[in-house]
Structure 1
Amino acid sequence: MSPAQATVRLRVPLVALLAALVAASAVLLGAGSAQAAGYRYWSFWEGNGKNWEYATQGPSLLRPDDGTVQGFRFAVSEDSGDADQPRRAPDFGAICADTPAKDGKKRVALVIDPGTTTDAPDGEKPPALRTVCAQVAPDASSAEALAVVAKPLRYDDSAMLCAISGYPKSGCGEQVSGDSGSAKPSDPAKTTDGPEKSDEGEGGGGGPSVGLLVGIGAVLLLGIAAVVQARRRR
């Protein structure tokens, strides 16, 4: 067999292997995106003057100072790292402009953002975003300030905030599957401002990552290509 014929014969399985690896990568990538899931819940935010920061304490624990801006956003998110922020700037001056200061009281500006229809539970329509200035006792918590202006509130057994002004009507931090968008019951929440991250991390699949599998395939291809090049030079 001539060197040219050997090279051709090697190229055929090489091309077939490359096609198989590409197809496998596509399947694995598709499976990874299909398994992605999030949680439907009210996230809690604090304004820093210009931007929003995810709150490190729940609204029942945090006791804001006078002049504070806080936000609540209902949406589906995997964890605090990708949670949607309230869609209104944390502007205390604008929100509390019509609420004069009063002795023995503090003012807390609230942005209550029920989110979009994409994140709404089946059969429900989110109410309009609104801003309100709560005037409460100096030692009042964020939850107490919210209760003054946005009743009825609903909490679960672990004190997680489930509904503001009756929205949503049911559910509390339920898991939403990424492939079909259907809700699945989640474990009881342990915090008051959103579900905790899984111990498994963002991947959470328990098997090898897509990047690892694709990397192994790339190494195999490089090895085969090296063999082909070596035989060409003979």
Structure 2
Amino acid sequence: MTVVRRTLPVLVAALLLLGSAGPAGATGYRYWSFWERTGGHWTYATQGPAFVRPDDGAVQGFRFAVSADSADASRPRGTADFDTVCAGTPADPGTKRVALVLDFGTRSDAPSGETPPARRTACARVPSDATTADALAAVAKPLRYDANALLCAIAGYPREGCGEQVSAGGKRSGNGTDRGTGGGPSLGLPIGAGVVALLAGAAVWQARRRRDESG
């Protein structure tokens, strides 16, 4: 029984490690990543924008790019200071202000036939219990989500596609100055699904072992 309990986390850890590393020359994913500004630095969000409820004065960022893996995710560029972004939006009781940095990426990251809009910022005034998704919807419509609630488009960009795979050779890597650690569809979607499948299978296996041992 001890062997079974110790083996399960090892299997899960092994799959996560393999998924985050990925094969050499693996494809990347074209998607909107979500970031939070803390202590003057961007941190890849650990929850989706529909689950984060920022405080008044928060700075949140979104970046459209192709990322090969979790360590390759691109940070939002440009102004990321609350006082600057929300300078013309005074505090108001019962509401909060969220500074949003919207980086539509580069031409090398754009889908075929599309041109990324210029980077911009916006100050969203929303109810005090609003999520980041609510703040985004207040200033950057139209938004587009897929059936799994993955954010596909901000302000209508891109027109089509959602987290699709892109060959690694089809993306210019740039000088690396806007790269950051974090997660992306290469870990959050395919590998996440693999972990769920592994956990489900391991749970069934563990239950059967318990029945066999107790029988």
- Counterpart secondary structure, 1:158: coil
User: What is the letter of the counterpart of residue 119 of structure 2?
Assistant: L
Once superposed, which parts of structure 1, at least 4 consecutive aligned residues long, lie more than 3 Å away?
A: none
Q: State whether residues 34 and 60 of structure 2, in contact with CA within 8 Å, keep that contact through their aligned partners in structure 1.
A: yes
* Aligned 8 A contact 1:38 1:175 in 2: yes
Contact 1:71/1:86 (<8 A) preserved: yes
Corresponding residue for residue 172 of structure 1: 162
Q: Which residue of 2 aligns with 1:71?
A: 61
Higher relative contact order (CA 8 A, sep 6+): 2
Determine if contact 1:36/1:179 at 8 Å carries over to the other structure: no
Of 112, 120, 127, the residue aligned with 2:110 is 120
**Residues 35-79 of structure 1: CA deviation (Å, up to 9, x unaligned):** 332100000000013110100010011111110000000000023
Seq. identity, %: 63
- TM-score normalised by length of structure 2: 0.69
- Taking the aligned partners of 1:159 and 1:38, their CA distance within structure 2 comes to 20
Q: Displacement, 1:169?
A: 0.2
Contact 1:173 1:194 in 2 (8 A): no
Is 1:140 aligned with 2:127? no
1:194, distance to aligned residue in structure 2 (A) = 4.0
SS in 1 for 2:92: coil
Does structure 1 residue 154 correspond to structure 2 residue 144?
Answer: yes
Helix, strand or coil at the partner of 2:78: coil
From 103, 107, 114, the equivalent of 2:93 is 103
* Secondary structure of residue in 2 paired with 1:115: coil
Q: Give the aligned residue type for 2:91.
A: A
Deviation at 1:174, TM superposition (A): 0.2
Q: Structure 2: give runs of 5+ residues left out of the alignment.
A: 1-22, 172-182, 192-215
Residue 39 of structure 2 corresponds to residue 49 of structure 1:
yes
- Displacement of 1:82 after TM fit? 1.2
Aligned residue for 2:66, secondary structure, equals strand
Counterpart of 1:169, as a letter, is R
Whether the aligned pair in 1 keeps the contact of 2:67 and 2:184 (CA below 8 Å) is: no
CA distance in 2, matches of 1:58, 1:138: 18
Distance 1:146 1:196 in 2: 24
Decide which of 74, 77, 84 is 1:87's aligned counterpart: 77
**Largest Rg, 1 or 2:** 1
2:78 is matched by which residue type in structure 1? Answer: R
Matched, 1:38 2:38: no
| Matching residue's letter, 1:110 | L
Distance 1:86 1:180 in 2: 21
SS in 1 for 2:99: strand
Number of equivalent positions: 157
CA deviation map 1:10-46 (0-9, x unaligned): xxxxxxxxxxxxxxxxxxxxxx76x332100000000
Aligned-pair CA distance for 1:89: 4.1
- What code does the residue aligned with 2:101 have? V
Residue 180 (structure 1) shift: 4.9
